[in-house]
Structure 1
Amino acid sequence: MELFLQMFPAALVMATPIIIAALGGLFSERSGVINIALEGIMLVGAFATAVTVIFLGESMGRAAIWVGLLVGALVGCAYSAIHAFVSIRLRADQTISGTALNMLSTGITVFLCQLIFQGQRSPNIPVSMPKISIPILKDIPILGRMFFNEAYPTFFIAVLLVVGAYFLLYKTRFGLRLRSCGEFPQASASMGINVAKMRYIGVLTSGALGGLAGGIMLLTTNIQFSVSVIHGVGFIALGCLVFGKWNPWGCLLTGVFFGFSEIISSYSGNIPGLSGMPTEFFYSIPYVLTIVALVLFAKRSIGPKAAGQIYDAGER
């Protein structure tokens, strides 16, 4: 039990960017556009956050952290606009477009890092994300230690985003229209809904959440930016989205599950029966679980019917 209580807060740290990035994929795919560029969007968001915090950290202190996350979200949104334009306006293959953005993100961040910092890594980030303890709640047995004592506020932001995404998608007219564009775009258009506009909104929202997730991952798990800072978490978020059945609450629960798979290598030496196994085995667990989840649940989890399909207004 003690080992679990030690692991749980660390798992929440790793789960937070996975949950937020998965929500980004949710908005995009619910609108009808597959966005496998989450990895690249997270990377450019992390880079923008790093640059902002490094240059503003000394003058603004910890306030630079929140400015950096905002900039990361805006840059992620702007970067995803490329995917939106190519996929929606030019009607290109969405998978190829997302793959191209993932490849471009590596080259562009390395180039800009060399240009700004004269190296492939940034300097150490001058301020760190603060941890908070919530009075009264932190004294609750077990739960207080798991959630409310010395925790990063970013996890609570992720939970609020899950609640907000659920309300927006399932309790508002906008959410109904967005989801209809991912299911039956021609029928939606016949009811006067601007399908292209709704898909742009979905992809740009996806980019903003992806950029935010990248910035959070940088500030809570690293001390400097490098091209390997995201290390596949964007793809894990896509697996989380499928495993969670394209539902915000599913993204939250599966995100925590994948968060545990990410940090198990750090505690493997304390787990009976696992201490003698190679470290590389534990580092591979998140990616193996992603593949397993896709194999086992891809057929059972039915996503938006029109996701990935090019919308043609003349098609009926």
Structure 2
Amino acid sequence: MFESVLITIATAATPLLIAAIGELVVERSGVLNLGVEGMMIMGAVTGFAVAMLTGSAWLGVFAAILVGAAFALLFGFLALTLVTNQVATGLALTLFGLGLSGMLGESFVGLPGVRLGAVDIPVLSDLPVVGRLLFGQDPLFYVSILLTAGVAYFLFSTRAGLMLRAVGDNHTSAHAQGINVIGIRYLALLFGGACAGLAGAYLSIVYTPQWVENMTAGRGWIALALVVFASWRPWRVVVGAYLFGGVTIGQLHAQALGVGIPSQLLSSLPYLATVVVLVLISRNRRLTMMNTPASLGRAFVPDR
């Protein structure tokens, strides 16, 4: 029983972690992309559709990554090239993604999907408690951990990561040093969009292999909150993702046990927890400002 609960928590946390780690890189470059929810839902419908039509879950995953990156390019063109307001552009991208996914996915509602199978490592996956938890998960679970480790190494141990953080902290000074601010932000956006698309594919190919309109159910917004919760540090995102994953699974188990609390209130717990955490963090201004990229959300035009 305990092992099963831990596995379901890991499954619920993985899409949050993937989406949040991508958005962390985007925000470290100084760009605020509120379109994560829209990119996730487009990744979910694209991944499901391609996997079902081709019979290959991996093709669905790759298609979702490409769609997420394409939506990120659209955001980049509007916010970086045309210098539109980043907040408004992100919100518009989310609304566009939600509407387009509903239209494209209408014919796929109720159809059985293709599930990405779990990894089975002989002997190790049979170990008590940790066997299935560490050695019997789906491949994207391991991808999420590798992404986190890779981003942490990239940001704090490479010259390219230092340049990206320099762009996010002071894009004017970075430009004066000869750094291509817009180019770096485009690359960061592509990575973040690909991660959001991958997170969406996880929902429709691994978590519940089916297509349901609005199936992201606000996870993109939680991923955005996780970045702030983690104060823009990759490994803290892991803690936050598993904390929120635990809250999500906890309310499901509470409903199954017939706890005398309205199911609607229980279902709102993950989002209520998000609001509470953000309020607590915002009360500590020093903690909020400590790692916040100074140029976050600020437009940059090289010739000005």
Shorter-chain TM-score range:
over 0.9
1:19 aligned residue: 17
Code of the aligned partner of 1:152 = D
Query: Structure 1 residues 29-38 or 277-286, which shifts more?
Result: 277-286
Where does the alignment leave 5 or more consecutive residues of structure 2 unmatched?
none
1:124-174 CA distance string (max 9 Å, x none): 21x21212233343354433353334x222211100110111111111111
Query: Are residues 39 and 179 of structure 1, via their aligned partners in 2, closer, same or farther at CA, if it must alter by over 3 Å?
Result: same
Q: State how 1:157-168 maps to structure 2 within 5 Å.
A: 157-168=143-154
Indicate conservation of the 8 Å contact 1:113/1:122, yes or no: no
1:214 paired to 2:200: yes
1:17-40 CA distance string (max 9 Å, x none): 000000111111011110111000
2:273 aligned residue: 289
Indicate conservation of the 8 Å contact 2:102/2:214, yes or no: no
1:60 aligned residue: none
1:137 paired to 2:124: yes
Indicate conservation of the 8 Å contact 1:77/1:211, yes or no: yes
Partner residue of 2:111 out of 109, 112, 123: 123
SS in 1 for 2:111: coil
1:191-216 CA distance string (max 9 Å, x none): 11010101111111110110011001
Code of the aligned partner of 2:111 = P
Indicate conservation of the 8 Å contact 1:43/1:230, yes or no: yes
Code of the aligned partner of 1:308 = G
Alpha-carbon distance in 2 for matches of 1:113, 1:133? 32
Q: State how 1:109-258 maps to structure 2 within 5 Å.
A: 109-114=101-106, 117=107, 121=109, 123-125=111-113, 127-149=114-136, 151-258=137-244
Where does the alignment leave 5 or more consecutive residues of structure 1 unmatched?
58-63
Instruction: Compute the displacement of 1:247 (Å).
Output: 1.3
Alpha-carbon distance in 2 for matches of 1:7, 1:112? 34
Instruction: Compute the displacement of 1:258 (Å).
Output: 0.8
Partner residue of 1:35 out of 33, 36, 49: 33
| Identity, % of aligned positions | 32
Alpha-carbon distance in 2 for matches of 1:269, 1:232? 20
Code of the aligned partner of 1:68 = G
Indicate conservation of the 8 Å contact 2:48/2:209, yes or no: no
Alpha-carbon distance in 1 for matches of 2:50, 2:33? 26
2:297 aligned residue: 308
Instruction: Compute the displacement of 1:263 (Å).
Output: 1.3
Code of the aligned partner of 1:162 = T
Q: State how 1:40-79 maps to structure 2 within 5 Å.
A: 40-57=38-55, 64-79=56-71
1:266 aligned residue: 252
Alpha-carbon distance in 1 for matches of 2:191, 2:53? 27
SS in 1 for 2:288: coil
Instruction: Compute the displacement of 1:56 (Å).
Output: 0.4
Indicate conservation of the 8 Å contact 2:22/2:196, yes or no: yes
Indicate conservation of the 8 Å contact 2:42/2:197, yes or no: yes
SS in 2 for 1:128: coil
Alpha-carbon distance in 2 for matches of 1:145, 1:47? 29
Indicate conservation of the 8 Å contact 2:20/2:224, yes or no: yes
Alpha-carbon distance in 2 for matches of 1:105, 1:92? 18
1:61 aligned residue: none
Alpha-carbon distance in 1 for matches of 2:221, 2:133? 27
Indicate conservation of the 8 Å contact 1:222/1:229, yes or no: no
Instruction: Compute the displacement of 1:110 (Å).
Output: 2.0
Query: Structure 1 residues 292-301 or 87-96, which shifts more?
Result: 292-301
Indicate conservation of the 8 Å contact 1:181/1:188, yes or no: yes
